[in-house]
Structure 1
Amino acid sequence: QKLIAAAPTAVAPEKSGFYERMVSKGRTPLYPDDILWNFEKF
């Protein structure tokens, strides 16, 4: 339980627009703590 309580929250870079692009394409994450990957940067 200590590890769960100490888990950091995800922080999105400001003005990246990544989340908005995902939502506009119908790829909204199911949960707020889902990890989103931007494979265009690799």
Structure 2
Amino acid sequence: SYHGKGKPRSLVSLCLGVLGQNLEDILNDICEIAPIFPPDIK
């Protein structure tokens, strides 16, 4: 992993922030559709 200063690290932080917001939405969607899947997939 990259432990430098400057743009690469802040870019990673920015990506993680965006991913975190999207993950929250995705998890909510998964929770809504989860009952559709067979139990062994969960």
Give the alignment's TM-score, normalised by structure 1.
Answer: 0.31
Task: Give 1 or 2: higher helix fraction.
Answer: 2
Larger radius of gyration: 2
Give the alignment's TM-score, normalised by structure 2.
Answer: 0.31
Answer 1 or 2: higher relative contact order, Cα 8 Å, separation at least 6: 1
